Amino acid sequence: MDPIKVDFSKKDGGRKKDIVIPPEKAALKIVLSILCTILFAAGAFYFMMPALNFKSYDFYIYIGAVAASYVVFNGLFANVLAKPEYVPYVKKRAIVPGIIIGILVVAVGIGYLVSSEFFRAESYSNIIDVRTDSDFSKEIPEEDAESFSAIPKLDEDAAAQLATRALGVLEEKGYVSQFTVYPQYTQINYKDTPVRVAPLQYASIIKWFTNTRNGFPGYVIIDMANESTEFVELENSIKISPAEHFNKLLKRHLRFEYPTFMFAEATFEIDDEGNPYWICARLDKTIGLFGGTDVIGAVVVKADSDKGESAYYTIDEIKNDSELQWLDRIYDSDLIVQQYNYYGKYQNGFWNSVLGQKGVITTTANYNYLAKDDDVWMYTGVTSVTSDQSITGFVLVNQRTKEAVYYRVTGGTEYSAQQAAEGRVKDLGYSATFPLLLNIGGEPTYFMSLKDPTNNIVQQYALINVAQYNNNKMGATGTDLSKCLASYISALEESGIKVDINPEDVVVEPVNPDNQEPEKELLSAAGAVTDIRTAVIDGDSYYYIKLDSNAAYFSIAAADEESVVILNVGDAVTVTYEGEGAIIEAESIAKN
Strand order in the sheet with 228-238: 186-190, 193-198, 216-223, 228-238
Which spans in 195-277 are helix H?
A: 205-211, 250-257
**CB 264, CB 297: distance < 8 Å:** no
CA angle 414, 420, 421 (to 5 degrees): 90
**CB 203, CB 581: distance < 8 Å:** no
Residues 298 and 392 in one domain: no
Who's near 189: CB < 8 A, 6+ residues apart? 195, 328, 371, 374, 375, 376
Q: Which of 463, 489, 518 is the last residue of a domain?
A: 518
Q: Which of 497, 518, 539 is the last residue of a domain?
A: 518
Instruction: Residue 78: name the closest of 89, 92, 69 by CA.
Output: 89
Residues 86 and 196 in one domain: no
**CB 399, CB 376: distance < 8 Å:** yes
Q: Is 409 a domain residue?
A: yes
Q: Is 73 a domain residue?
A: yes
Residues 388 and 534 in one domain: no
Task: Specify whether the backbone of 475 is left (phi greater than 0), alpha (psi in -120 to 50) or beta.
Answer: beta
Could you tell me the CA-to-CA distances from 65 to 49, 75, 104 in Å, in that order? 13, 15, 11
Q: Is 498 a domain residue?
A: yes
Could you tell me the CA-to-CA distances from 144 to 139, 317, 372 in Å, in that order? 15, 34, 14
DSSP string, 285-302: EEETTTEEEEEEEEEEEE
| pTM (2 d.p.) | 0.81
**CB 376, CB 328: distance < 8 Å:** yes
Q: Which residue pairs from 34-41 have beta carbons closer than 8 angstroms and sit at least 24 positions apart in sequence?
A: 34/70, 36/69, 36/73, 37/66, 37/69, 37/70, 37/73, 40/66, 40/69, 40/73, 41/66, 41/69
Which H helix or E strand runs over 315? helix 315-320
Residues 189 and 94 in one domain: no
Q: Given this model, what pLDDT does residue 318 score?
A: 97
Q: Is 413 a domain residue?
A: yes
Q: φ and ψ at 371, to 5 degrees? A: -95, 125
Residues 495 and 568 in one domain: no
The Cα 269–Cα 336 span in angstroms is 19
Residues 481 and 378 in one domain: yes
**CB 574, CB 525: distance < 8 Å:** yes
Residues 511 and 527 in one domain: no
The parent domain of residue 535 ranges over 523-591
Q: Given this model, what pLDDT does residue 517 score?
A: 46
Whats the size of the chain, residue-wise?
Answer: 592
Residues 509 and 531 in one domain: no
3-state secondary structure 56-109: CHHHHHHHHHHHHHHHHHHHHHCCCCCCHHHHHHHHHHCHHHHHHHHHHHHHHH
Residues 553 and 431 in one domain: no
3-state secondary structure (DSSP) of residue 411: strand
Q: Count CB-CB contacts under 10 A for residue 192.
A: 9
Number of domains present in the structure of the chain: 4
Residues 51 and 195 in one domain: no
Which H helix or E strand runs over 319? helix 315-320
Q: Is 346 a domain residue?
A: no
The Cα 292–Cα 422 span in angstroms is 39
What CATH number has the domain bearing residue 587? Answer: 2.40.50.140
Burial of 444 (0-12, 13-18, 19+ CB in 10 A): buried
Instruction: Residue 280: name the closest of 242, 245, 247, 246 by CA.
Output: 242
Residues 403 and 474 in one domain: yes
Residues 392 and 474 in one domain: yes
Strands 291-302 and 276-287: antiparallel
For residue 10, the one-letter residue type is K
**CB 299, CB 283: distance < 8 Å:** no
Q: Count CB-CB contacts under 10 A for residue 533.
A: 11
Instruction: Residue 171: name the closest of 552, 572, 440 by CA.
Output: 552
Q: Given this model, what pLDDT does residue 512 score?
A: 44
Q: Given this model, what pLDDT does residue 35 score?
A: 97
DSSP string, 475-535: EEEESSHHHHHHHHHHHHHHTT------GGGSPP----TT-PPPPP--EEEEEEEEEEEEE
The Cα 380–Cα 363 span in angstroms is 6
Q: Is 460 a domain residue?
A: yes
Q: Is 255 a domain residue?
A: yes
What's the start-to-end Cα distance of the chain, in Å?
Answer: 81
- Kindly list the averaged pLDDT for each block of 10 residues, start to end, along the chain of length 592: 51 62 91 97 98 98 98 94 90 95 97 96 97 91 86 87 80 80 94 92 93 94 89 94 96 98 97 96 98 98 93 97 95 97 96 92 93 91 85 96 95 93 88 94 93 82 92 86 90 86 74 45 84 73 86 84 88 85 82 84
Which spans in 116-180 are helix H?
A: 117-125, 136-139, 145-149, 156-163, 168-172
Q: Is 21 a domain residue?
A: no
The Cα 474–Cα 368 span in angstroms is 22
Q: Given this model, what pLDDT does residue 125 score?
A: 97
